[in-house]
């Protein structure tokens, strides 16, 4: 199997600042690391992912970093907006997705 | 393209009652997943199928939970004799391929409350 640890569980930032969420995994066979955003009452939606052949990926204000040696990956949201407020889940996969416990991000105006 | 659809959206049961959840994956997706998401936690895989075959059901509480996908398209997850600890959102997801590296698309989920 796989164990994914996600921190912090709660994150409050001011609008316009950056937010960072960190995840670690245990199984070196994991090779796919997606990030999902989930708003209240909604389903998780993929926002960005990275595969093990990459160390960094960036799209639309999101940056994902992957350190395979340390078995660590992270999501960085630049220039946060109130609309970024949601639960964020990281996941690691070598056959199925193993999710972290989530981070509740609140962006305050 | 239509997304993953699920029904019902909500269910409220007394302990001991049975309930079935239905999922229609994205057309052409051969892999279908059922997850349980307790409140304020991440989704946890219960079972997944490739076409009509169960690939892994090791996390499914087999004494009360069952899942089928008889024609390799729609799927049904059933809970016999529900317990309060089953209170959660049940999410269905599908992907084009299996093997872990394919994007999974989630349905809206069924929120279950067991009283």
Across A52-72, average pLDDT:
96
* Residue with token string 């409220």: B12
Confidence tier at B1 by pLDDT (50, 70, 90): low
Instruction: Check whether A19 has a pLDDT greater than 70.
Output: yes
* Rounded Cα gap, residues B44 and B31, in angstroms: 16
Minimum distance, in Å, between the CA of residue B80 and any CA atom of chain A: 25
Minimum distance, in Å, between the CA of residue A33 and any CA atom of chain B: 8
Instruction: Check whether B4 has a pLDDT greater than 80.
Output: yes
Residue A75 bridge partners (DSSP): A21, A64
* Rounded Cα gap, residues B2 and B7, in angstroms: 15
Quick one: tokens of B84? 């309060």
Instruction: Check whether B19 has a pLDDT greater than 90.
Output: yes
- What local confidence, expressed as pLDDT, does residue A96 receive? 86
Q: Considering only CB atoms, which chain A residues are within 8 Å of B41?
A: 101-102
Instruction: Check whether B102 has a pLDDT greater than 70.
Output: yes
Confidence tier at B98 by pLDDT (50, 70, 90): low
* Rounded Cα gap, residues B9 and B112, in angstroms: 9
- What local confidence, expressed as pLDDT, does residue B40 receive? 85
* Rounded Cα gap, residues A57 and A66, in angstroms: 9
At residue A72, φ and ψ (nearest 5 deg) are -140, 140
Instruction: Give Cα B12 distance to the centre of its chain.
Output: 17
More confident position, B62 or B32:
B32
- What local confidence, expressed as pLDDT, does residue B62 receive? 73
* Rounded Cα gap, residues B104 and B107, in angstroms: 10
At residue A84, φ and ψ (nearest 5 deg) are -80, -10
> Where are the extended beta strands (E) located within chain A?
4-7, 10-14, 19-25, 32-38, 45-51, 56-59, 62-67, 72-77, 86-93, 97-99, 103-108
The reply to whether residue A96 touches residue B44, judged by beta carbons under 8 angstroms, is: no
Quick one: tokens of A58? 């960036």
The reply to whether residue A91 touches residue B42, judged by beta carbons under 8 angstroms, is: yes
Mean pLDDT of chain B: 92
* Rounded CA Rg of chain A: 13
The reply to whether residue A49 touches residue B103, judged by beta carbons under 8 angstroms, is: yes
* Residue with token string 């997943």: B33
Interface of B with A in 73-102 (CB under 8 A): 91, 98-101
Give every CB contact of residue B18 below 8 A, 6+ residues apart in sequence: B78, B79, B80, B81, B82
pLDDT, tens digit, 9 for 90 and up, residues A1-15: 889 999 999 999 999
pLDDT, tens digit, 9 for 90 and up, residues A25-56: 999 999 999 999 999 989 999 999 999 999 99
- What local confidence, expressed as pLDDT, does residue B77 receive? 98
């Amino acid at each position: 199997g796989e164990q994914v640890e996600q921190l912090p569980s709660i994150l409050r930032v001011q609008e316009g600042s950056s937010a960072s969420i960190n995840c670690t995994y245990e199984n070196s066979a994991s090779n796919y690391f997606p990030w999902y955003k989930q708003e209240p009452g909604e389903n998780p939606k993929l926002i960005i992912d990275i595969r093990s052949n990459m160390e960094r990926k960036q799209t639309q204000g999101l940056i994902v970093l992957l350190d395979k040696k340390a078995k660590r990956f992270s999501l960085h949201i630049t220039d946060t907006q109130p609309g970024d407020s949601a639960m964020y889940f990281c996941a690691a996969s070598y056959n199925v997705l193993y999710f972290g416990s989530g981070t509740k991000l609140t962006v305050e105006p | 393209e239509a997304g993953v659809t699920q029904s019902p959206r909500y269910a409220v049961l007394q302990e001991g009652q049975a309930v079935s959840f239905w999922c229609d994956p994205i057309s052409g997706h051969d892999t279908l997943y059922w997850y349980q998401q307790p409140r304020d936690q991440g989704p946890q895989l219960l079972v997944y199928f490739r076409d009509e075959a169960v690939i892994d059901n090791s996390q499914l509480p087999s004494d009360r939970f069952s899942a089928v996908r008889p024609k390799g398209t729609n799927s049904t997850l059933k809970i016999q004799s529900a317990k309060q600890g089953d209170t959660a959102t049940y999410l269905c997801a599908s992907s084009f391929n299996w093997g872990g590296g394919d994007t999974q698309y989630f349905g809206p989920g069924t929120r279950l409350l067991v009283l």
